[in-house]
Structure 1
Amino acid sequence: METLRERKKRRTREALVRAALELFTTQGYERTTVDEIAEAVDVSQRTFFRYFAGKEDAAFAVQEMTEAHFVAAVRARPPHEPPMEALRQAMLEGWDDIRETVEAVVPVELYLRMYRMIESTPALLAAHLRRSAATEQTIAGLLAEREGVDVDADPRPRLAVAVFAGVIRVTERQWSTGDDFSLAAIRSLTAAYLDQVGPALTGNWRAA
């Protein structure tokens, strides 16, 4: 049961995230200061640093929450599922929770605006790639543990995660630049693009 103090801290953190993302996407990441974020929530700079090490942490706060949900979903998949199927089902069945996680903190529209800003801002894109690599390493370790293989000696866990992560990046990019931001749309795109992995890797693209 969340205490009153815990609830207040959570709400302050979420307010700082919303303010940060709104400022980043309207006036630019580099031009936004910690003082402006804190002022938007009517708290001190010191309070901001109680929750975040800096602007980068605030920029990726929602993304970190969604990634944590996905890692937990992979960990919870039945042990008999093949690795790629476990990743697929963790993502497809987890979109409801992921969207709820996002909407509990920021509107989906703001989340998508921030996603596009990350891709177009060199400093944020570099941080995104670094953070994504760390998450992919965690998931590769989970797959290796599930399958009883050594993640450092057997390349398959990292290969599977690299392929899967690439598909998800393409899916999210397509979804974020489209017209339908519904849960059904992202789930449909995810399933369709994952279904194309085999043919894309092994098929003849020039065949009729």
Structure 2
Amino acid sequence: MSQPISLRDRKRAGTWNALHQAAAEAALAPGLEQVTVESVAGAPGVSCRTFFNYFATKEDAVLGLQEPTVDEAVLAAYDVDGDLLEETGRLMLSVLRPIQGGTSHRRELLAKYPHLLHRRFQYVTKVEQLLTGLVAERLQASARWQGQPHEFDAEETARMTVMVVGAGMRYVMQKTFDSPTRESQFAALEDGLRLLRGVLEELQ
């Protein structure tokens, strides 16, 4: 059963959305060069200091990017002794979804300012680094892992797992670019993992 959203969280979400909307619309007209933190913060009536509690840069506000975090409930459900590819795929998507960027004029913004794609990529790299550490910790604590000999250590295995899953995640993002709902992305993840397994088998 989902927990009710507190008034504080609703207000925070409202402020985040207002800042993102203001920045995205300003980037389209008059243009990204004219967007300032002061003007964006003024839209919902907050201070520049408050702006930086939500976004690191004006570009992040334009795209609606959020720092990657792992939900404790999702992490608790992560089973490193299960299907490592599927488990890590679901974990990665749960972390990626909130940092993908807002939906306000996404296609228009990236078409007009293609260099912003690099900023999105930086956030994906943060996700991969975060997950590599988490997967390595879980592997090291796993009785199954400890009870078997391995040519590569847990950290190397975790890094490769995250890299392989990341390739499947790009498939998910491309397939659901216009409709990045939770349902569509997790469905695309299942398709992507099946395709990935088939490709890996072909390469053996």
Q: 1:5 to 1:163 in 2, by over 3 A?
A: closer
The 3-state SS of whatever aligns with 1:176 is coil
1:171–1:70 Cα change, 3 Å: farther
Alpha carbons of structure 1 residues 173 and 117: separation in structure 2 relative to 1, 3 Å: farther
> Is the contact made by 2:89 and 2:169 (CA closer than 8 Å) also made in structure 1?
no
Q: 1:134 aligns with which of 109, 126, 134?
A: 126
Q: Which residue of 2 aligns with 1:56?
A: 59
Residues 154 and 48 of structure 1: CA distance in aligned 2, closer, same or farther (over 3 Å): closer
In 1, are the aligned partners of 2:65 and 2:120 still within 8 Å (CA)?
A: no
* Matched residue, 1:145: 137
Question: CA–CA distance in 1 between the matches of 2:184 and 2:5?
Answer: 34
Match of 2:198 in 1: 199
What is the aligned-residue identity percentage? 29
The 5 A counterparts of 1:1-208 are 8=11, 11-25=14-28, 27-49=30-52, 51-59=54-62, 61-64=64-67, 67-69=68-70, 73-74=74-75, 76-90=77-91, 94=94, 98=97, 109-110=103-104, 113-114=105-106, 117-118=109-110, 121-148=113-140, 154-177=155-178, 182-203=181-202
User: What is the CA-CA distance between 1:167 and the residue it aligns to?
Assistant: 1.5
| SS in structure 1 of the partner of residue 79 of structure 2 | coil
Q: CA deviation at 1:25?
A: 4.9
Provide the aligned length of Structure 1 versus Structure 2.
Answer: 189
Closer/same/farther in 2, CA of residues 48 and 162 from structure 1, 3 Å limit = same
Deviation at 1:6, TM superposition (A): 6.9
Unaligned residue ranges in structure 2 (runs of 5+):
146-151
Structure 1 CA distance for aligned equivalents of residues 9 and 66 of structure 2? 21
Tell me the TM-score normalized by structure 1. Answer: 0.66
In structure 2, what is the Cα distance between the partners aligned to 1:81 and 1:181?
A: 27
* Paired residues of 1:116 and 1:176 also in contact (CA < 8 A): no
- Label 1:82 to 1:174 Cα distance change in 2 as closer, same or farther (>3 A): closer
Equivalent-residue separation in structure 2 for 1:156 and 1:75 (angstroms): 21
Which structure 1 residue ranges, 4+ long, deviate > 6 Å from structure 2?
Answer: 1-6
TM-score, normalised to structure 2, is 0.67
Quote the Cα distance in structure 1 between the aligned partners of 2:113 and 2:8: 36
Distance 1:53 1:62, change over 3 A: closer
**For 1:203, what is the secondary structure of its paired residue?**
helix
For 1:173, give the aligned amino acid.
Q
Contact 1:74/1:86 (<8 A) preserved: no
Q: Deviations over 1:118-140 (max 9, x none)?
A: 58735422222222212201101
Query: 1: distance between equivalents of 2:110 and 2:72?
Result: 22
* Unaligned segments of structure 1, at least 5 residues: none
State the 1:172 CA deviation. Answer: 1.0
